Amino acid sequence: MSNLRTFQISEGINLHCLKDDKFTTNSVTFFIRTNLTNETAAKAALLARVLKSGCSEYPSVSLFNRHLQELYGCTMDIFTFKKDCRLVLCLNFVFANKAVLLPKVFFVAGNTLLSPKTFLNRFMEADFSNGVYAQSKAIRSLKDNKTQYAIFRLYEEMCRDAESDEVSRSFSISADGSLKELSLITPSTLHAFYNNLITSAPMDVYCVGPASGDEFKACFDKIPFFDMVRKKYQPCGRLKGTNTQTRIVNESYSFTGLNQAVLCIGYTFSNGSVYACEVLNEILSGPSGLLFNTVRQKEGLCYSIFSSILPNTGVLSVCCQTDSKNINKACQIISDCIKNAASATPEQLKTAKDSLCAKYSLITDSQQETTGFLFSCRLNSIIPDTDEYIQNIKSVSQSEIDGIISSIKEQVIYTLN
Amino acid sequence: MDVIKEKCPISGAYVYIYTLSTGIKCYIIPKSGFKTSMAMAVVKFGSGDVMFKQNSGFTEIPSGTAHFIEHKLFDKKDKSIFTELSKNGASVNAFTDFVKTAYYFSCSDGFYNNLKLLMDMIKEPYFDKSGVENEKSIIKSEINMYKDIPERAVFSNLTKLMYPDTALGCEIAGSDKSVEKITPEILYACYNAFYTPENISIICSGDIEPEKAALIVQETDFTSQGAERIKEEIVPNKINDYVSKRFDVSEPIFNIGFNHEGFEVCPENTYALKMVFDILSGEGSKLYERLLNKQILTEPLGFSLVCAPNSVFSVISGRSQKPAYVANSFIKTSSLLIKTGVGDTAVKRIKKMYAGRVIRGYNSIEAIVNAQADLAISGFSLIDTEKAIADITSDKINSMALEAFKRSNAYLSVIK
């Protein structure tokens, strides 16, 4: 990634351009960061919905989308997501690599971000009302995906038990916000939030594609962003679990019930680098991982099982769907798998590292993954280079894995029946 | 080994089509600059296949057999090809649908060795009793997992409604009962009947040498005898009804199904149908805007065309408090479109959008391989798709609109 060019537009606004001729499209992604609270999550998610409904130049959904169709089906998406204990508003465009499209897409981006449909410091009532309705549906739909809901509930329970600091207060918040917070927003308070965000939040813009850095910058410079010093956010720490004994939470899934229970186990840990954490997760969850080979292949307890690790937050979780009668057995086997990772054979360690290295070496084949990787490196102050990242993975030793496992504490076993 | 090399009219990509002496067809789409290489073996045997004739006897296929083979083909007597490919750093997976079973890997290194492993895997099965028995509990868990996914249940209910008592109305993975009937003998019989060169296509893409890949495929010998595929007669339900099931979801999820009787599967027809849908209810349509402003929809409708043996149907999916209202509005707008016709401006705009989608598709090796896999089953290639999009006319779209979405061929499935 030696051809990554970064232009500091102003303090807190950076434009990052990676020229790559193999792509047939250009991708432009705006990341706008803010702190994560119940209030900001609800407002940012609603703002994303309202901005999607049009802008001053294309003031209706059909006009807006027809214009995008004219731009060779340029895709546009606005959404929010959590990154550790921060909230990110993301605006993304992907469009065919045709010279004529570049300035036109940046014009749409600028118009969407800086000229939304407003009247007297309020968003338009109809757009606001449609946005609230759609967002309330999105919040309620969390429960429709049982696995997603179970993981959300696991994190909520883990934060309840953890030391009360910024991490535990923010980690369990959904990026969709809550119905309660949503109901408190008005067209004018949303506008005030938007104004504050657009003028003071740090913004990183990533452009990946065949266009050159100079071409991207020339188009970006035409967007009249407010030249104000932006806020700075520091990385948050790790979740500090306080349970001395695992807490067991059983929840029933409304009155219809489930054909299979969802089992989620949450652990906290304090040791280990980002790289060692990723290797541990791969030993557990990779295609030849301990969980797949033991819980599924050997014991036949489930079809799908996976673990996920959040190195910066210090949280490891394991999730599977299995028959209710198998829960205790599955818990025991999962617990053994985690202990066994400490005595992984050199071959298991090598397989996990090779698999991860292969994954990272392929990141540059996707504009979306490249963008995500670069942004993640920026937030974690890591050099944005996949080769260097791969070298760091290769140098992870078994003793580092043991170090993480020795600090792992099982916090919560959550089952959804 | 015959080869056709052709340039696609929109993307400018080259597609190599090899017809090998063994009978296997090999589609290779080189993409320089990408580190990912991918290969997929597509076998024309899916859950829609219910019977075959070999020598003088007919064999009935239990529901879920194609999917069962998909699970077990990775396992050999003394090794697992899944593990071997994973150890080589490849990402491996497989899937089954109504018409096909597909096995694939993607990797950054060792593509040709991995391709050889993939070919070795599909040419020789190993189905032992204990392995088959163990797999049954994993597959039953998979079936139960799908039962808890509302999007899956709404589709399953739709096909049951549209095509009752046929393989299309059954789960692709089968049921607990049908899975219990599966034995190593049945798996071997089906393998021998369908895993033959003329039923297999190999699709490769990445920074690869076409001829080198084709030669590896050419070297693979198959000993399967083959059999006559006995297609199930599919008679759609005469009653255009709706089915509604309680699932306790936050907002009803619906699938509107349209049976397309006599639909000839080819890229021109497929894209004409997709374009009619986009003109009617895509994100740029007035219908979508109206439903959004009435708070009947909050997200765009989805569209997919399912080409099953002896039947073609499309599915429009979405979420709404008023699914019947959405279905009625869609059908009403469709009948209005028949009267007014589709204007040239709209066609030009939609064609631009599809051209952009094609170009975007070439950013992903996985997207290229998957798109070609869908086409290979009907004997088409990505070249045919791009030609169809480039050449499609307003007349073609208007004639497709006449028959596509009528009340008489519509069905509605709702999960509440």
The tens digit of pLDDT for each residue in B51-95 reads: 999 887 999 999 999 999 999 999 999 999 999 998 888 999 999
Write down the mean pLDDT value for chain A: 93
| Residue B315 counted as domain residue | yes
How large a percentage of chain A has pLDDT more than 70? Answer: 99
**Interatomic CA distance for residues B226 and B139, integer angstroms:** 27
Same domain, B90 and B140: yes
| Residue B271 counted as domain residue | yes
Which tens digits make up the pLDDT trace of A155-167?
A: 999 998 888 788 8
DSSP state of B163: S
Cβ-based neighbour number of residue B302 at 10 Å: 12
Contact with chain B for residue A26, Cβ under 8 A: no
Contact with chain B for residue A60, Cβ under 8 A: yes
Q: Is the pLDDT of residue A256 over 90?
A: no
Nearest by CB: B298 against A137, A255, A321: A137
> Are the Cβ atoms of A74 and B356 closer than 8 angstroms?
yes
Contact with chain B for residue A180, Cβ under 8 A: no
Host domain of residue B118: 2-230
- Mean pLDDT for A264-273 is 94
Q: Is the pLDDT of residue A318 over 80?
A: yes
What residues does each domain of chain A span? Answer: 4-220, 247-416
**Interatomic CA distance for residues A176 and A141, integer angstroms:** 10
Torsion of CA B366, B371, B372, B378, to 10 degrees: 150
Same domain, B161 and B223: yes
B290 neighbourhood in chain A, CB within 8 Å: none
How large a percentage of chain B has pLDDT more than 70? Answer: 100
Is B52 within 8 Å of B228 (Cβ atoms)? yes
Q: Is the pLDDT of residue A8 over 70?
A: yes
> Are the Cβ atoms of A288 and B86 closer than 8 angstroms?
yes
Highest mean pLDDT: which range of A81-90, A152-161, A186-195? A186-195
Torsion of CA B312, B318, B322, B323, to 10 degrees: 10
pLDDT bracket for residue A290 (50, 70, 90): very high
> Are the Cβ atoms of A69 and B150 closer than 8 angstroms?
no
Contact with chain B for residue A95, Cβ under 8 A: yes
Residues B40-61 as b/e (b if ≥16 CB within 10 A, e otherwise) read: bbbbbbbbbbbbbeeeeeeeeb
B283 neighbourhood in chain A, CB within 8 Å: 61, 65, 68
A71 neighbourhood in chain B, CB within 8 Å: 356
Same domain, B273 and B206: no
- The whole-number pLDDT of residue A169 equals 81
- Mean pLDDT for A359-375 is 96
Nearest by CB: B248 against A69, A254, A296: A254
pLDDT bracket for residue A141 (50, 70, 90): very high
How many domains would you assign to chain B? Answer: 2
Residue of B nearest to A356 (CA): B89
| Residue B283 counted as domain residue | yes
φ/ψ of residue B146, rounded to 5: -65, -35
CA distance A164 to chain B (A): 32
pLDDT bracket for residue A243 (50, 70, 90): confident
Angle between helices B323-340 and B394-404 in degrees, nearest 10: 140
Which tens digits make up the pLDDT trace of B381-406?
A: 999 999 999 999 999 999 999 999 99
Q: Is the pLDDT of residue A226 over 80?
A: no
- The whole-number pLDDT of residue A229 equals 75
- The whole-number pLDDT of residue A158 equals 94
Q: Is the pLDDT of residue A234 over 80?
A: no
> Are the Cβ atoms of B86 and A74 closer than 8 angstroms?
no
Same domain, B254 and B223: no
Residue of A nearest to B108 (CA): A358
**Measured in whole angstroms, how far is the alpha carbon of residue A190 from the centre of its chain?**
23
Contact with chain B for residue A97, Cβ under 8 A: yes
Same domain, B220 and B255: no
> Are the Cβ atoms of B349 and A69 closer than 8 angstroms?
yes
Same domain, B226 and B248: no
φ/ψ of residue B414, rounded to 5: -130, 140
Same domain, B246 and B140: no
Which tens digits make up the pLDDT trace of B206-246?
A: 999 999 999 999 999 888 888 999 988 888 887 768 888 88
- The whole-number pLDDT of residue B389 equals 97
Same domain, B36 and B182: yes
Lowest mean pLDDT among A148-152, A211-215, A351-355, B286-290: A351-355
Q: What CATH homologous superfamily does A4-220 map to?
A: Metalloenzyme, LuxS/M16 peptidase-like (3.30.830.10)
Same domain, B159 and B259: no
Q: Which of B182, B206, B230 is the last residue of a domain?
A: B230
- The residue among A64, A362, A366 with the most chain B CBs within 10 A of its CB, best to mutate, is A362
Same domain, B304 and B359: yes
CA distance A319 to chain B (A): 13
Q: Is the pLDDT of residue A400 over 90?
A: yes
Nearest by CB: B353 against A69, A304, A322: A69
Same domain, B39 and B182: yes
Q: Which of B230, B264, B285 is the last residue of a domain?
A: B230
> Are the Cβ atoms of A71 and B356 closer than 8 angstroms?
yes
**Interatomic CA distance for residues B281 and B331, integer angstroms:** 10
- The whole-number pLDDT of residue A159 equals 92
Question: Do A4-220 and A247-416 agree at the fold level?
Answer: yes
- The whole-number pLDDT of residue A209 equals 97
CB within 8 Å of chain B, chain A residues 188-217: none
**Interatomic CA distance for residues A318 and A267, integer angstroms:** 9
| Residue B237 counted as domain residue | no
> Are the Cβ atoms of A321 and B141 closer than 8 angstroms?
yes
CA distance B119 to chain A (A): 20
- The whole-number pLDDT of residue A230 equals 81
CA distance A72 to chain B (A): 4
pLDDT bracket for residue A255 (50, 70, 90): low
| Residue B235 counted as domain residue | no
| Residue B186 counted as domain residue | yes
ipTM value > 0.90:
yes
> Are the Cβ atoms of A365 and B36 closer than 8 angstroms?
yes
Nearest by CB: B356 against A73, A323, A355: A73
Same domain, B127 and B276: no
B105 neighbourhood in chain A, CB within 8 Å: none
H or E element, residue A307 = strand A302-310
Tokens coding B406: 């009528």
| Residue B267 counted as domain residue | yes
- The residue among A21, A297, A365 with the most chain B CBs within 10 A of its CB, best to mutate, is A365
Nearest by CB: B285 against A62, A322, A357: A62
Give the CATH number, domain containing residue B46: 3.30.830.10
Is A358 within 8 Å of A341 (Cβ atoms)? no
CB within 8 Å of chain B, chain A residues 358-417: 358-359, 361-362, 364-367
Q: What does CATH list as the number for A247-416?
A: 3.30.830.10
Q: Which of B230, B257, B289 is the last residue of a domain?
A: B230
Residue of A nearest to B298 (CA): A134
